[in-house]
Amino acid sequence: MATLTALTRWVGPELKSCELTHLQRDSINFEAAEREHAAYLAALGLICDEIVELPAIAEHPDGCFVEDAALVFDECVVLTRPGAEARRGEVDHLLPHLPTDRDHLRLEAPCTLDGGDVLVVEDTVYVGCSTRTNHAGLKQLAHLLLPFGYRVKAVEVTGCLHLKSAITQVAPGVLLANPAWANLERVSASTLIEVAPEEPAGANALFIGDALIYPEEFPLTAQRIEAHANLHLVPTRELQKAEAGVTCRTVSWQSP
């Protein structure tokens, strides 16, 4: 049977100096953020076969958002080139902990691409054109993935940091979205569920294994998706101040 692994990194007190694009800086309670991460790890532990917990990196306040540094596909690992220059060192810190049973590929300048802008739905890879991911990043990723049969589609992102702030998968054939934050004309799904109007930030969900990790702060949207998903609700209030969601804190993969 395949082994499902989730790679994570602990938050550090440096998180207060994280990169911000769409939010005003607010005081982050580090102890509360640690408790939120612990609850997240507990949820992953109910779903995954193996959890890799890496320590925080003092020189990289955003280092706990491991998703932005690497994309793991069944056939390869793609090392990204984050849009925030201060975050680019995170990639090499993560590299030794990524799976070694598949090819390692790397995006190069002049491209920028954050993993948070990449949504993989079966053989389609949606890439958000955002403040962190440019067209060169999309083109390089498409070129690297072409031999493996993936189709790469661009999605314009407005009003939020990453594509997966605006749309994520919650179950096979089911997507959750805030259409106000991304142009969904090129996105296709059997079922598209919109977030509750009162919860515009509620589109970020982590579909992993046969379960869904979702922020407890969006109960109205949770009601809309609970019939489709095995829900695990986790607190995210402090980490939301860092423009974080539940997808950005793990990189996961299956191994034989």
Closest CA to 72 of 26, 118, 35, 31: 118
| Contact indicator for 238, 40 with CB cutoff of 8 Å | no
Give, as one character, the DSSP assignment of residue 79.
E
162 catalytic residue (yes or no): yes
Extract the tokens encoding 78. Answer: 């793609």
Rg (CA), the chain: 17
> Measured on CA atoms in the order 217, 172, 114, 5, is the torsion positive or negative?
positive
| Contact indicator for 40, 249 with CB cutoff of 8 Å | yes
List the CATH code of the domain at 3-255. 3.75.10.10
The reported pLDDT for the residue numbered 23 is: 83
Extract the tokens encoding 224. Answer: 């809309």
User: Catalytic one among 37, 64, 111, 162?
Assistant: 162
pTM of the model: 0.97
Q: Which residues of 81-114 are buried (b: 16+ CB within 10 A; e: fewer)?
A: bbbbeebbebbebbeeebbeeeeebebeeebbbb
Residue 55 has φ and ψ, to the nearest 5°, of: -75, 160
Extract the tokens encoding 200. Answer: 């515009």
| Contact indicator for 112, 134 with CB cutoff of 8 Å | yes
- Show me where the domains of the chain are located: 3-255
Residue in this structure with the two tokens 């999309």, named with its chain if needed? 138
The reported pLDDT for the residue numbered 1 is: 81
| Contact indicator for 117, 163 with CB cutoff of 8 Å | yes
User: Catalytic one among 18, 48, 64, 248?
Assistant: 248
| Contact indicator for 70, 52 with CB cutoff of 8 Å | no
Please list the pLDDT of the chain residue by residue as tens digits (256 residues): 899 999 999 999 999 999 988 888 899 999 999 999 999 999 999 999 999 999 999 999 999 999 999 999 999 999 999 999 999 999 999 999 999 999 999 999 999 999 999 999 999 999 999 999 999 999 999 999 999 999 999 999 998 999 999 999 999 999 999 999 999 999 998 999 999 999 999 999 999 999 999 999 999 999 999 999 999 999 999 999 999 999 999 999 999 8
CA separation for the pair 185, 167 (Å, rounded): 13
Q: Residue 26's CB: how many other CB atoms inside 10 A?
A: 11
